[in-house]
Amino acid sequence: MSNSDRVVLVLGGAGTVGSGVVKALLDKGFKVAVISRDDSRLERLRSFVSPNTKSSLTTVVGNVGSEDGAEQVKQALLKEVGKVTDIVSSLGFSWWQGGPPHTQSLKDLHWVMETLLYSTFVSWKAFFPLVRDSSDCTYTFITGGAGEKLLMPGTGFLTVGAASSLAFCQVLREEYPELPCKLNQVKINAGVGTPERMAPGYLNHLDLGEAVAALVERRKASHTVFTINCPADLKTALLEGSL
């Protein structure tokens, strides 16, 4: 399949990381679909992408955080685009610093887990069947490194939620060892920002988007974790095509 024949569903595509991925995929000639509960975020995304690619972007308002909601939005999406050939999952949030565990409630923990793990699981369950049986298809998770250590005091629940996401990706790699679909994970151990909101050591979301788009385009690797620790790693990935 040529890029123009492929339809990439970017879960979390209206966020900082996801928007960079969406723009890069569109610039490479892919058709792209994005789901969000917030139409205003979808409108900002439509304004952000290259003007000449807007016709290749499909946006759908829906909720992938519940099983019923994910199934409903899946049917609505398929009516719009007909098929999905690739999925990039960039769900959740990049930061949480609500305080030490003894100051939090069970409701707080449930919200973190729902955002970082449950939505990832529910969307996987809904959309995985669309791509699982074809070697021409891909499913790429974008995760963070916060699950491997406490980033700073007060971020404990972020560590718990991020660790759950990392564990879920590991489970999928090992539960589906012979999967025809190319299943990969991009683990980012650094902050990600837009060009106007960069900080030392941060990755530019546009550069990260280019790297992820290249991984989706090539369809060579599978059951692989690609780790990016710093801007130098990302530059190497872009120059050498190591993703």
Mean pLDDT of 125-140: 97
Report pLDDT for 145. Answer: 83
* CATH code, domain carrying 115: 3.40.50.720
Interatomic CA distance for residues 146 and 143, integer angstroms: 9
Q: Is pLDDT above 90 for 242?
A: no
pLDDT digits (tens, 9 = 90+) for 44-89: 999 999 999 999 999 999 999 899 999 999 999 999 999 999 999 9
Residue 228 exposed, middle or buried by CB count within 10 Å (0-12, 13-18, 19+): buried
Mean pLDDT of 21-28: 98
Q: Is pLDDT above 90 for 239?
A: no
Report pLDDT for 241. Answer: 74
Q: Is pLDDT above 90 for 197?
A: no
Q: Is pLDDT above 90 for 40?
A: yes
Total count of domains within the chain: 1
Report pLDDT for 243. Answer: 79
Report pLDDT for 141. Answer: 97
Band of the pLDDT at 240, cuts 50, 70, 90? confident
**Averaged pLDDT score across all residues of the chain:** 94
Band of the pLDDT at 171, cuts 50, 70, 90? very high
Parent domain of 135: 3-240
Better-scored residue on pLDDT, 151 or 34: 34
Nearest CA-CA partner of 144 in 163, 131, 125 = 163
Report pLDDT for 238. Answer: 83
